[in-house]
Each structure stands twice: as structure tokens, then as C-alpha cells.
Amino acid sequence: MSVLARSVGNAFRNKIRTAAVVAVLAVAIGLALSMLVANQAVGAKVQELNASVGTTLTVNPAGGQGFEGGGEPLTTAEAETAASVANVTSVVGTKALRLQTATTDSTTGTGQQTGPGGGFGPGGQQASVSTNLTAAVDAGTLGNRNNTSGTTGTTGTQPARTLPITATGIGAEVDSTGKALDITSGTGLGDYTTSEAKALVGTSLAEKNSLTVGSTFTIQDKTFTVAGIFDAGTTFGNNAVYVTLPEAQTLAETPDELSTMIVTVNSMENVDSTKTAVQAALGTDKADVTQGQRNLETAVSSLDSVKNISLIAFIAALATAGIIILLIMVMLVRERRREIGVLKAIGARNRTIGLQFVLESLVLVALGSVVGAVIASLASGGIASALISSNTTTTAATTTQRGGGLAGAMPNGAVPGGGMPGGGQGGPFGGASQLLTSVTASVSPGVLAAGIAAVFAVAIIGALVPALLTARIRPIEVLRGE
Amino acid sequence: MIVVKDLVRQFKSGDRTIKPVNGVSFELEKGSLASIVGKSGSGKSTLLSLLGALDKPTSGDVVVDGVSLAGLPDGKLTEYRRRDIGFVFQQFNLIPNLSAVDNVMLPMEFAGVRKAARLQRAKELLEQVQLDPEKHSRRTNRLSGGEQQRVAIARALANEPKLILADEPTGNLDEQTGEHIIELLSSLSRDHNTTILVVTHDRSLAQKTERCFRLQQGRLTEEVRTGSRR
């Protein structure tokens, strides 16, 4: 019989006690694994949020955003100024256009949208750039209200309207919020700093107009080839076209003008100071600098605290498992002093006896881990949810309040250059609390393996102390007891 | 050959110094069967533990086949116990959740004997001590006292030791079983040329050994015997 076989046999000497020990260990290990799963899930979410909006600033003309407001347009010179600010890693300019279907009849209200200076954007956006594309979104009640100047609340019959399509010139392969474009077919536009008659089309717009990669369409009578089709994830976002920034500026006949700038900062720690520096460099009368990260700061902060709590709980549960092992093995060593003495008397080395006790503890931990893993797979989702909900009760209230206020200031879906995620979901920032509850805690084999490895490591440490105690038992004690 | 030279073991008990073994010297020829008798508390078990390297003497030495135990490090003493000594205890001290054959295999496992070889030898030894083959795989806590002592003797023989130290081997057994055990030890001494030293307070048992020593107040005297067992 080998040391391992003897250890397994010893682990089952007292079946009732073994069952009790395994049950207690299983609870501790199950809790530890659940906390680890929650920690990993929340950590991944935090990373995702930080990666998406964490280090970007959005610069709009002072007094204007997208097609709303007024003021002076941003210029490429100001983009260079922003790029020269410390900690700024990149500045991507965008130029927003409204594409109006060329076949639109007189009831579409173009008369309201054309004219010097335009009524829809800062810096005199080209109000009506014609296209042969048809919008993928029906006007509906909201579209008719939003496109009717001064008639809000009118209950009379309104003519059916065709919604414009948003075309955005971009200086890099990112959307108007600075997020990388998800191109589902075809390729990007290549060099975004040169004027080229290629475009990226949103999925729903492409479907509506039967466009595929290589198809052509016109803007201002100029033929564009579809280089790729992207998925923005929202109906509004997919009713859009992206072209290179110089191409959009040419179409708008405003070569140096920008609608927005997406400024990327080198780290989250520098976002606040860089925002202040960019604002100072551009001037408060020239530009409004907003921080996308601010909108989700509370959400990320809450998730961070949940992550910390789950990490502490994981360590505590792990330590508890270690202490349980330590106490159980100390008890077993004391109980088997005589047997240890006999083993030494017949020639067992200290390390052989120590190894036997460590292996016995690992058998108990292995059993506890199996049951604990089952507990974790059943309970980790609930525990993660409970942790998140208990930490977001106050946060959600704050976030909702903040989100509601901002939502009132900026109508849904009307801020293509605003860079505010969550638009069209009950307010641009109303999604923050939803983000907290969208964390999915699933038990992945990798996390489970890492957790169980940690449990085994702690168990070995816990079992080493009693194993070392066996070395101090002198075999003479056996004969003295005779 | 076992040579014991002026062996002393003393303990402190409060202000008093106790010497359960006080200047003990004797020699045992290889293959001899000897006994040490004495009253309870006379120091018999202490002397046995010194001979078996379970305890270290205050002074003096034990020399086994020319090797002195004095000054050997713990690791070497463990090796000595494993290779040269076989213990038989009054309480048997078998591992209760292991079978008879597993108990006998233990010292061989510690000595690094391969599994197949130790299994075969364990079975042979159990047959030698006349344990019913049906009971070889039985847990030792389900064997009778006599059977357990047979297993203990088989375990003591496992690594073919030079010296078997038996501490009251019949103390927990009835008279008839005790006689069987002492006959068994006697035959083992003859057949294996193993030196056997039995500690007992049973004079009738001592009478059956070749040499008999009396331990009194820590000092050893040899009783003159009229005949030999052989």
C-alpha cells in the first residue's frame, strides 16, 4: 500500500467526520469560487467599460452639438492644438452631414432645412446633401415631431416625412463616439486622411438600399463605392454612412471645418487634467470639452467596489478553508500521535509521515472542491447579482438622476457627434445602472481551475503545519504509553 | 553481536534526578534469545527504548555489529530502526485500518522494497507466524489479541532485522497464547539467527529464554541458568 493509498484510506477512516469536514470545506470552497467568478465577471465588465469610454474626451463647438445649437465650427487647426496637449495620444476629427434623399417631395420640409447658415448645426452644416439612398428608419411620430420646426404639440395631420441619413467623415476607423467600428463585411476605408469615393454603410441602411460590398450609390451626384458594412449595434447607428474626413469636408464645401473631435488620453488617471488642459488650449468660447468617462464613472466605481468586495471575500473564504484544514489536521495529528510514534519506531521518515498527512488533507480538499464547484456553479450568478444590487441601490439612484438631467438637455438620437453611449435607451446616461446589472457571472473552466488551484495551495500550506508537527513526535512516547 | 557499554539514562523530576538505567553493560551473541525481568518501573522499557534507538542515552553506548549508536544523527537512527531493529509491543501497535498484510508490508515500504516483493514476503511471514491465510486481508482491529501479536511479530521480521526487541509481548494475552508466542519467538531466533531480547515481568516466560537478566533500580544483573533452551 503506497503513501497515497494509505492517505486516501485514512481520509475515510471516520466516514461521518469526513462527511462533516467535506461539507464545511465545500461551503468555504464554494463561496471562494463564487466570489472568484463574480470578481472575474465584474473585472471583465470594468475593463470593457474602461476600454470603450474610459479615456476619451469629446470636443464640440462651444454652444453646439451635432446638428443642434450654434457657435463657430471647430477647425483642423484646433485639432492640431488639441493634439499638442500633454497626455493626448490621438485626435480624431469628424464631420457630420445630413443626407437627404434626392427624390424627396416638397412635403419633406427641406425648405426649413436649407438656407444660409442652416438651421441644424453649428458652423453652417451642409443642411441638405442629396443622395440616392433611402433612410432605413421610418419617420414615425418622433421623426415627424423632430423635423417640424415650431410645431411641437400640434395634433393636426402632418405630412409623411423621410428622415435624413447621417453621414460622418472620420479621420480614423472609429465611430462618432471614438469606438472602433465593427465592420461585418468588406474592409475599412484605408487611408482616412485622403479624399476617396469609398464609404462604409450601416447594416440596416445597406439592407434597405440592397447594398453589398462593391455596390455604388451617390452623394451630391458623386458615385461612392461601398467598401464595407458595419454594425453599430443600434437602429439609429446603422442608418448611417461613414466616409473619409476630407471627403466629408469636400462634400460640405467646408474644407477645414470639423463637427467634433475625439481626443484620446493616455490613461484614465490623466483624463481629468487633460480635459482641463484641452479646454484651456481651445478656449471656453471656442469649444466644449466633455468627458465620456464621467457618464459611466459611477457605474465603474460601483463595479470596482463590487470587484474589491468579491476579491476580499474570495481571500477570506480561501483563508477559512485553509484554517479548517489546519484545525482538522492538527486534530488528526493529535489523535494519531501513537500511530505516528509506531510508524517512526518501525522506520518511517519524518517526510514520509508528513507527506501522508498532506495527501490526506488534499483528499479532503479534493472532495470539498468537487462539491464546492457544484455549489459555485449554482450560486455564483445569484451571489454576483446580490453583490451588485446591494452596491448599486444608491448608485443607481444617483446615476438615474444624472442621466435624466442630461437626457433632458439632449434629445435622444439627435446627437450623432455627441459621443454619449446609451442614447435612445431612455436617456443617454440611463444605461449606466443597466450596465451594472448586465454583468454575467458564468463559471468558466479557467476561473474554476484557477480557484481550485488556489484552494489546493492554501490547503497545502494549512496541512504543512500539522505535517511538521508530526516531526516533533518522538517514538519513545509510544513505549512510555505502554 | 550487541554490545551495551555502561549505559545511563537519567531524567530530572523536580529537584530529583531519576536514573531508570544506571550503568548497564552486557553483550548478546547473534541469534541468542534473552530476557530482562524486573518489577514495574524498574527501567525495563527505558532500556529497551535505548537499545532500539527510540531514546538517546545520557551516557554510554550501544554497539550493534561494530556500529556505535552514540552520536548518530536522527536520520541515521531512523535508518537503524528500519534496517536493524524489529519491535514487538505489548499493545501490538498495529495500524487498525490496515489489513494484516498491509501492516507487515509497512516497514518494507519504508525501506524501499518493491510492491510485489513486499507483498510476497508479507504473506510468507504471516504464514510463518501461522496466521490463517483467510485473515491476511482482514483489518487488524478485527483480529484476536493472539492474532494481532502474530501480525506484530511478522511486521518486526519484515526487514530481516539483527535485533528484535519485544516489550511484554505476552502481557495482553492469555497464558496459552502467550506460550505460543514465546515458542514462536524462540523458533524465529533459531531459524533466522535473529537476536531477540524480551522484556517481561513474567518469570515463567523468562525461564524459557537462554539468558535472563534482572533489572533492579537501574542496574542489571544476570541470573545463572541451569540449562539451555536449545
Q: Do A347 and B89 touch (CB under 8 A)?
A: no
CA-based nearest distance A384→chain B, Å: 44
Residues of B at the A interface, defined by Cβ within 8 angstroms: 45, 48-49, 52, 54-55, 75, 78-79, 81-83, 87, 89-91, 93, 95, 97-98, 102, 105-107, 109-111, 115, 155, 159, 167-168
Confidence of residue A402 (pLDDT cuts 50, 70, 90): very low
* Comparison of pLDDT for A394 and A290, the residue scoring more: A290
Residue with cell 417631395: A105
* CB–CB contact A475 B54 (8 Å): yes
The Cα–Cα gap between B104 and A122 comes to 96
When pLDDT is cut at 50, 70 and 90, the band that residue A150 belongs to is: very low
Q: In chain A, pLDDT over 90 holds for what percent of residues? A: 18
Distance CA B218, CA B230 (A): 30
Q: Can you give the residue ranges of every domain in chain A?
A: 3-50+299-481, 56-148+159-292
Say which residue, B139 or B89, is predicted with more confidence. Answer: B139
Judge whether residue B207 has pLDDT over 50.
yes
Q: Which grid cell is A5?
A: 493509498
Residue among A6, A346, A482 whose CB faces B167 most closely: A482
Answer with the residue of higher pLDDT: B177 or B136: B136
Answer whether A1 sits within 8 Å of B52, measured CB to CB.
no
Nearest to A1 among B45, B54, B98 (CB): B98
CB-based contact A292:A53 (threshold 8 Å): yes
Compare CB distances from B45 to A1, A343, A479 and report the shortest one's residue. A479
A325 near A361, Cβ under 8 Å? yes
What's the Cα-to-Cα distance from A373 to each of A30, A308, A455, B74, rounded to whole Å? 6, 22, 11, 44
Q: How far is CA B91 from CA A72, B103, B145, in A?
A: 102, 15, 9
pLDDT tens by residue, B52-70: 998 889 999 999 888 889 8
CA pair distance A57, B195, nearest whole angstrom:
92
Cross-chain residue pair A352–B93, CB shorter than 8 Å: no
Q: What is the mean pLDDT of residues A215-243?
A: 90
Residue in chain B nearest A13 by alpha carbon:
B97
Sort out which chain B residues have CB atoms less than 8 A from A481's CB and list them. 91
Residue A478's pLDDT band, with cuts at 50, 70 and 90, is: low
Residues in A touching B21 (Cβ below 8 Å): none
Which residues of chain A lie closer than 8 angstroms to B73, CB-CB? none
Q: What pLDDT is stored for residue B94 in this prediction?
A: 92
Phi and psi angles of residue A91, each rounded to the nearest 5 degrees, phi first? -130, 120
Winning range, highest mean pLDDT, from A123-127, B12-16, B27-31, B220-224:
B27-31
Whether residues B78 and A343 touch (CB distance < 8 A) is answered with: no
List chain B residues with CB under 8 Å of A478: 54, 89, 93
How many Cβ pairs within 8 Å bridge chains A and B? 75
The alpha carbon dihedral of B136, B141, B146, B152 has a sign of positive
Confidence of residue A217 (pLDDT cuts 50, 70, 90): very high
CA atoms within 13 A on the CB side of B66: 0
Across the interface, do A482 and B52 touch by the CB < 8 Å criterion?
Answer: no
Radius of gyration of chain B, Cα coordinates, nearest whole angstrom:
17
- The CA angle B84-B90-B91, to the nearest 5 degrees, is 105
